Every structure is written in structure tokens, then in C-alpha cells.
Amino acid sequence: MAAQIDLCNKDPRWQQAVILHHHHGFGPVREVGAKEAIWITPGLLIAQNAWLASHGRPSWALSSPPTMWLDGLDQSLTGRRILTATAETILTWRRLPSGLGQRPWSQLAAGRVSGLPAARRTLEDLQGNLRTAPPQSLIRIQTHLPDVHEEWRVIVDRGRIAASSGYCLHEGEGSRAITTVFDGAVFNPRHRRIAEDCALQAAKGQSPAPISVDLAFLRGSDRPLVLEGNPVWCAAPYNYGSQGMVSFLKAVAACRTDPANPYQPDPWMLREFGGRFRSSWGPVRQDQTMVMP
């Protein structure tokens, strides 16, 4: 799904409102105002930009943290070894580099593709998944963090906290049971400020773009560890409260109105999503308009 977010309407009736135009992603979006924010998945953005290019129109440029942002963090903030390498390089390995363990997590560094969902893999399994990958696709490999308990998301916009929320609780290391914020999960309230401070420290001097930072607290620990840093324009909102949601939407808007380090899709993402709208020529139906007070 994609959404246009009009935050710049000068009509006094809308000064306390956000207008959302929803699109289900079955075809390209024909028109978006120059001052409208865009909340969209990376796959749909790639498809949309390929369609725009085929019609000689400029692409949508949306701010994104650098692909190697997570790799550049000090290990005191991540608590694990993180290594990013091309698929071509990984296919030459005879063993995993030291410090990663026997079954580290692996995934595409900038996006998600069906051929390599985030999962724990042996080197043999990973190389099997990469046989048909574009050689220059960047693959991130990370040591497994044991016994994660709470996960939090913090939105950092130009050096300030825009919003924060816990989003899931893990039952235990041996269990796959997870309770999300939508299921009524209750988080340690002391962890909010700690998570925010850690996210600010991680983002400082690392990313000029607004960034969505995911963090984890291991069971019995009050020290958060950074899990990921993603573009705000594709980040799911959680329990931010009314003011936090407004700040979140402003951060989404800033990704388009003041783009810094525009998103550059991985070759594997381009291959999987670039041709999605190739045969789409008819008008796209605007499915729903919703006004949020």
C-alpha cells in the first residue's frame, strides 16, 4: 500500500488535520502534489519510479539512512558483530568470518526480497540462497542476539526524537511466541527514555535523513541494543500518541520535501520490483480518502 499525505493544505478547516489518499499498489500512482508526503514500501517505490522513468518523468526522491549505517555503529551500541558483503564475495567464502557464530542472521542490507528473507543460516544455506542473486547485491550478516525480550522503535528527525513506542515482547529464547503492541503488550515505561537516548546517540553524525531506529532489550537488561535503522517513509507507526503521530508524519514529509541521501535500491530489489507496473496503462482508482483530525 502507498499513501499520499497532505500536510501543507492552507485551508483553515484542515489546519488540525491530515488528509490521506490511499492506493493499494495494483498500479502506478498517476499524480502526487509537490508538497505531499509519501508513505510507501521500498518495492512499490521502485516500481513507481520505473514507471515514471518509462514516461520520461522524474523519480520520487526520498531520504534514506546510508546502507552501511548499521555497520558503522560502535559495537557498544549493537552488542554483536555486523558484516556486510556482496553476494559475489560471500560465494567465495569457505567459512564464515570469526565472531558471527555458526548460524548468524542474514538478509539483504537495503530492503527485502522473497529469495532471502531475514533468517538464521549456515554458510552453506546462505550460499545456496545467493546462487542466483545479483553479484553486487549487499548482504548483511549479524551475530544472533540471545534472549531478546522487548523491542522498541524510535523515530529520529534531524537530531530530535519525533516519536517512540515499544512494539513487541518475546516470550523467551526457546519460544517463537511474540505479543505485539496491537495485542496489548505492556512495556517497561523506564525503557522509553533509555531507548530514545540510545537512538539519538546512534543517529548522531551518522544519518542526515530522518531515521527509524529499532532497538532490543535483552531479558533482565536495561541496556538497549540497536537492531536496525530504516527509512521513515516505509516505517510502520506504532503507539506514538496524537502528538507523536503528528511528529512522525512530519518526519515522513521531510523525507520528500528535504531529501538527504536519496534511497538507492539494491540490484536484487530492482530485479524483483522494477517491472511490476510495466504493463499498466489505465488510470489508477483512488480507493479511499480519509481525514484524520
Residues 189-217 have pLDDT tens digits of 999 999 999 999 999 987 789 999 999 99
CA distances from 121 to 84, 142, 174 (A): 15, 10, 17
User: Could you tell me the residue ranges of all domains in the chain?
Assistant: 80-142, 148-257
Class of domain 148-257: alpha beta
Q: Within 13 A of 10's CA, how many CA atoms are on the CB side?
A: 1
Do residues 74 and 49 touch, judged by C-beta distance below 8 A? no
Which residues are 152's β-sheet partners? Answer: 166, 215
- The string of pLDDT tens digits covering residues 31-76 is 888 788 999 999 999 999 999 999 999 999 999 999 999 999 999 9
Tell me, what's the pLDDT at 286? 42
288 falls in which pLDDT band (50, 70, 90)?
A: very low
Q: Which pLDDT score is estimated for 10?
A: 47
Beta carbons of 150 and 187 less than 8 angstroms apart: yes
Which grid coordinates are listed for 141? 550478516
Residues with Cβ < 8 Å from 62, sequence gap 6 or more?
A: 38, 40, 45, 231, 233, 255, 256, 259, 262, 263
